[in-house]
Amino acid sequence: MVVQSKLLFTAPPTEKSVKELISVLTDLYLKHRTRVSRAVYLTLFVALLGRIYHAISEQKAAAIQQAELLRRPGTTSKDGDIKTRKRVEINREFFRNLLRLLKIVIPGWKSKELRLLISHSIFLVVRTLISLYVAELDGKLVSSLVRGKGQAFFKGIVWWMVVAIPATFTNSM
C-alpha cells in the first residue's frame, strides 16, 4: 500500500453542506431530546455537587486553622484550656510604637505628608456635614412635594443643586 505524502485539497464546506449538517444535528436533537436534556441536567447537578463539596472542605479547613490559632502558646492558660484571645491594651508601649510609626509616616511639620493627612481629615469632616445637610434638604423636598407647595419645592431643588457642586468636589477627594 502506498502512503500519501501530501494532503488532499478539500474544498471548504459549501453552504449546502452546512445547511445539511445543521439539519442533521437538529433532527438528531429532536429525536433524542429527552436524553439530551437529562444529560445536561445530570451534568449541572454533578457540577453543583462538586462546588458544594469544595465549599464544605474549605469551611472545614478554615475551622481547623482557627482552632490551631487558638491553641498557640499566647492564647492558652496554665491548665492548657483554650481561652479567648488576649485583649490589646492601650499603655505606654502602644503610644511609644504609635509615635515611632508617626515619625516614619510624617517626617516633619512642614512635610507634604502632614498637609495631605490634615486636608483629607478636613475633607472627611466636611463630607459628613454636607451629607447630613443633603439628607435634611431631601426631607424638606419630599415634605414640600407631598404638601403641594410648589414654590418651596422649587426653592429646595435650587438649593439642592447649589449644594451639589461642593458635595461633588468633596466626594471626589
Summarize pLDDT for 118-140 with one digit per residue, the tens: 999 998 999 999 999 999 999 99
> Whole-model pTM above 0.85?
no
147-167 burial string, b = 16+ CB within 10 Å, else e?
A: eeeeeebeebeeebeeeeeeb
Phi, psi of 82 (to 5 degrees): -80, 130
Residue 168 CB neighbours (<10 A): 10
Quick one: how many helices (H) and strands (E) in the chain? 5, 0
AA letter at 147: R
34-80 pLDDT, tens digit each: 998 899 889 989 998 999 889 888 888 888 888 888 887 765 555 55
